[in-house]
Amino acid sequence: MIRATSNGVTIAVRAQPGAKKTAITGVYGEGAAAQLKIAVQAPPIEGRANEALVHFLAAIFGIPRANVDLVAGDLSRSKVFLLRGVTQERATSLIEDQMGK
């Protein structure tokens, strides 16, 4: 789900567009194929859900939107985002806080 890179981390996300509110709702899958499940209020039309995910991830990790890139899954529910300037430890901690662990 979270992998360290040379300039930050990548996070595998399973998007659920059209939700009542944008929030982390759990984990989709298991092991190496696990993805962070995020309900997204925006509809999957004209990239609105992707843009909402970028804003949401930037807010959670306290980084500028410019530091969040969608690197895979533009038209899929399964996506991979690169978060520049975030360590794996910090990403794990912030996600656990959001999930109430």
- Spell out the domains of the chain, with CATH numbers in brackets: 2-98 (3.30.1200.10)
- To the nearest whole percent, how much of the chain has pLDDT over 90? 88
Q: What is the pLDDT of residue 101?
A: 54
Q: What is the pLDDT of residue 40?
A: 96
Residue with tokens 């309900």: 39
Is pLDDT above 60 for 17? yes
Is pLDDT above 60 for 72? yes
Which residues, 6 or more positions from 37, have their beta carbon under 8 angstroms from its beta carbon? 13, 14, 16, 24, 25, 26, 27, 28
CB 38 within 8 A of CB 23: yes
Structural tokens at position 24? 């982390």
Cα–Cα distances (Å) from 82 to 21, 75, 101, in that order, read: 23, 17, 24
Q: What is the pLDDT of residue 34?
A: 92
What value does the mean pLDDT take over residues 53-63?
96
